[in-house]
Structure 1
Amino acid sequence: MFHHYSILLLQQGVTLLWLTSIVPQLTPSSCQEPGTGCSPPTRAQFGFLYTSFGIMSIGSACIRPCSIAFGADQLKHHKNQRLIDSYFNWYYASATISIAIASTVVVYIQDRFGWRVGFAVPVLAMFCSVLMFLLGSPLYVKVKVDKSPFSGLIQVLIVAFRNRKIRLLPDDCYNYSNDMDQVELTDGLRFLNKACVVRDVDIGFSGSNLCGIPTVENVESLKSLIRIVPIWSSGILVFVNLLQKFPTLEAEKMNRRITSSFEIPAASFNLFMLLTITIWIPFYDRVMVPFLAKFTHEPRGLNLKTRMGVGIILSIVTMVVSAIVETIRRDLANSNMRVVMSAMWLVPQFVLLGLTEAFNGIGQLEFYYSELPNSMPSLAMVMFKVSMAVASLIASLLTNIVDSVTGQGGGVSWLSSDIDEGHVDYYYWLLSFLTLLNFVYYLICCRL
């Protein structure tokens, strides 16, 4: 039911955004007509626009964490782990294809036919999506959730703190649930075990929980969440590298012509990364996984931690390649030679970025989903999206710091608005060094 409301909320947000382009009262007066002045948007117009953005943000934020977990729920009855592992690959591939279509076809329609037609396309697409979802609703596997898993986690922290002074004894009893999928209490993060210890003779039987004692399952769920936080943090810097905008500025300074009449837009070079992900994921899932499984005896081809580690290594290589290419481009731009470097030199780093995301990004999703308990599958996508949001903030903060420090004393900043004057290559070398340190940190996290 929550998924139903979320997708309808997103549909409403997209529709409201479309209305800002077709209802005259919601659009500022045109500045295109000669002899007329441009009046700024009114507060009401701004309010309506921001409302549409807010509704879309809430709707998409609710759908994205739930959709991947909801899709995996449809496959659990098959009892085929390989099928679920493959699902994550294809989910990521389909999401990448949708981004590629949105950044090319939809943008072209908006540019060619205007905002009215351009915004109508996602409205129509969302309508079809909602219709298909609602028509298929009776066929879906719907896992019932009795209560929020987060309330149990908070309860564990509170009770563990309350019982912090007690000593655990070998003959202690613990509060197990009555569920079929009971788990064993582990010795890791042992202080949390104090939350589920049972020492009250008034509790008649295990699982009754009459005194508000958390279950062993709650304790182990919290332990799983705590254990993956260090590895989660190691993936943030990978997304910092993926979110760099400087390659677009480099492409603007380079020769982007394919023929005498066709020039690739600078912002479209990101498509090489999206195409790499789209091509690599099916190839990896259908060819590489069966091949690697023969040697690693791992159904996924590579262990998830190995897969994420390969992604971090590729991220280091990407930054090194980016630094070398930018050094060559900058030297040519500041030389007396009238040679404009071809923008095709940027393609290898975009391909490497695509492979980085395919290895590390999908590896993160699968790792979170496999480590978290069955009661918290949607949290896997939440953690993934939060890491991207944190990476965006860190990328902005890092560029501001580098720009401020390197521009002190009246010098030219590495990240000068004129990249021919600046040293973006030095910034790439800095990122490669930080990512190398991050890889060492990742190896330490894997041993925890």
Structure 2
Amino acid sequence: FLDKAAVVKAGTEVSDHSTRNPWRLCTVTQVEEVKCILRLLPIWLCTIIYSVVFTQMASLFVVQGAAMKTTVFAFHIPPASMSSFDILSVAFFIFLYRRLIFPCYLRVRGKSMTQLQRMGAGLVIGATAMVCAGTVEVYRLKHTNKGSDEPSSLSILWQIPQYALIGASEVFMYVGQLEFFNGQAPDGLKSFGSALCMTSISFGNYFSTIIVNIVMQFTTTNNSPGWIPGNLNEGHLDRFYFLLALLAVTDLLVYVGCAMWYKGISLEERGCAAQAEEGIQCV
């Protein structure tokens, strides 16, 4: 269907000295660029749910940490400072991927892991992080006096695994995502690939807010405080984490289907499109 935009019709012939109307006739390269962008959109949509998972690190993880025991050996640990374990995890897993995971995968499979496979691994680890966070919240509630707003006796250090898993998922998802979009974006729209990564994170923040509002709307009926009240001791933040894990798993299934359907564009195809525009037959 899109190829019709590059077909010369009656009344759209362009002579050597006339100016082509871009709204009436497009070049083959422009048509191929639009096809590239449209093929990327399903993959891009599947990355938004991961960004919803990722944004919990800067929001509900901190709120959860504030409701836990923040003193370790007489030292006070600010809940927001726990994100340093995410940074350490990113550095560690980048090293681990380059030195161990990549060589082992190459030795076993005979080829390197594709960007789409790395993004899928990031989704799996992200869902695991939500399960881990929900499990920590279950035990936090067990070590809390119901009806009290006092912090739980469970140490904030129990949050380290969920931060570490988020960091590990970043290495696979965001690095693979950036390489994938930049590699598959048309040559004339390379900045569009980076923009897709940033908009995925932005939409993830917006969707996180929407999901929280919807959850609170449905869980605050009959005078119930809801899953995420001001006093977490009266809520069920664990259920919210498990809900996000379920959404991530569902998103993963959709993503696998989109990744199997996706047909990447090669450098040869780009060269053929450019030659066709110049009237040269591609062999």
Q: For 2:231, what is the secondary structure of its paired residue?
A: coil
Cα distance in 2 for partners of 1:414, 1:253 equals: 15
- 1:252 Cα deviation from its structure 2 partner: 1.5
Cα distance in 1 for partners of 2:80, 2:20 equals: 61
1:222-371 paired onto structure 2 within 5 Å = 222-244=34-56, 245-260=59-74, 262-298=75-111, 301-334=112-145, 340-371=153-184
1:394 aligns with 2:191: no
1:1-150 paired onto structure 2 within 5 Å = none
Cα distance in 2 for partners of 1:407, 1:202 equals: 65
- 1:305 Cα deviation from its structure 2 partner: 0.9
1:192 aligns with 2:5: no
- 1:328 Cα deviation from its structure 2 partner: 0.7
What CA RMSD, in Å, does the superposition of the two structures yield over aligned residues? 2.3
> Which residue does the alignment assign to 2:220?
407
- 1:292 Cα deviation from its structure 2 partner: 2.3
> Which residue does the alignment assign to 1:58?
none
Which has the higher Rg, Structure 1 or Structure 2? 1
Whether the aligned pair in 1 keeps the contact of 2:67 and 2:152 (CA below 8 Å) is no
Whether the aligned pair in 1 keeps the contact of 2:44 and 2:200 (CA below 8 Å) is yes
Tell me the amino acid that sits aligned with residue 8 of structure 2.
V
Tell me the amino acid that sits aligned with residue 430 of structure 1.
L
Pick closer, same or farther for the CA change 1:196–1:284 going to 2, 3 Å: same
Q: For 2:129, what is the secondary structure of its paired residue?
A: helix
Post-superposition CA distance 1:217-263 (Å, at most 9, x none): 11111111001101101011111111111221221222233322x22
Pick closer, same or farther for the CA change 1:203–1:294 going to 2, 3 Å: farther
Cα distance in 2 for partners of 1:199, 1:394 equals: 45
Tell me the amino acid that sits aligned with residue 170 of structure 2.
E
1:383 aligns with 2:196: yes
Pick closer, same or farther for the CA change 1:202–1:347 going to 2, 3 Å: closer
Tell me the amino acid that sits aligned with residue 365 of structure 1.
L
- 1:209 Cα deviation from its structure 2 partner: 7.6
Pick closer, same or farther for the CA change 1:426–1:211 going to 2, 3 Å: closer
Tell me the amino acid that sits aligned with residue 192 of structure 1.
L
Whether the aligned pair in 1 keeps the contact of 2:126 and 2:165 (CA below 8 Å) is yes
Tell me the amino acid that sits aligned with residue 215 of structure 1.
T
Pick closer, same or farther for the CA change 1:331–1:230 going to 2, 3 Å: same
Alignment partner of 2:243 out of 430, 438, 443? 430
Cα distance in 2 for partners of 1:215, 1:389 equals: 33
Tell me the amino acid that sits aligned with residue 328 of structure 1.
Y
Normalised by the size of structure 1, how large is the TM-score?
A: 0.53
Pick closer, same or farther for the CA change 1:209–1:220 going to 2, 3 Å: farther
- 1:202 Cα deviation from its structure 2 partner: 4.8
Tell me the percent identity.
Answer: 29
Tell me the amino acid that sits aligned with residue 135 of structure 2.
I
Q: Unaligned 5+ residue runs, structure 2? A: 262-283
Cα distance in 2 for partners of 1:197, 1:329 equals: 65
Cα distance in 2 for partners of 1:352, 1:431 equals: 15
Cα distance in 2 for partners of 1:347, 1:355 equals: 12
- 1:415 Cα deviation from its structure 2 partner: 0.5
Tell me the amino acid that sits aligned with residue 143 of structure 2.
L
Cα distance in 2 for partners of 1:247, 1:265 equals: 12
Pick closer, same or farther for the CA change 1:296–1:376 going to 2, 3 Å: farther
Cα distance in 1 for partners of 2:44, 2:86 equals: 23
Tell me the amino acid that sits aligned with residue 4 of structure 2.
K
Pick closer, same or farther for the CA change 1:280–1:409 going to 2, 3 Å: same
Tell me the amino acid that sits aligned with residue 331 of structure 1.
K
